[in-house]
Amino acid sequence: MDEKRPLTKEEIAEIVRGLGPVDWVQVKLLAALPPEKRIIPALQAQEFSMAGLRGTFLKRFPGQTLSEINMKVLAYLTPVRMEAK
């Protein structure tokens, strides 16, 4: 197993270069919201990405039921890997 090590300044700079510009208007709008409403855009983004993944799996595995596809989506997005029976 690889040991964790701190990132170098060059590695951090490379990561930051890959990010888009900050939308300061959006940041100010979200900062003005109470915490319980700030989470809504994140949940909507998660729902959107899960729906896209579900659509991809529906095309890739046309013979499977929606329940089986949903389990594949969860398995794909869950960091904990369980043994398949």
Mean pLDDT, residues 75-85: 73
Is the whole model's pTM more than 0.85, yes or no? no
Q: What are phi and psi of 48, to 5 degrees?
A: -65, -45
DSSP E strand boundaries for 1-85 = none
15 and 35 Cβ atoms separated by less than 8 Å: no
- State the residue for tokens 């039921």: 65
Q: How confident is the model at residue 18 (pLDDT cuts 50, 70, 90)?
A: confident
Domain positions in the chain:
9-77
First to last CA, the chain: 26
38, amino acid identity = R
Tens digit of each residue's pLDDT (9 = 90 or more) over 35-61: 899 899 889 999 999 999 999 999 999
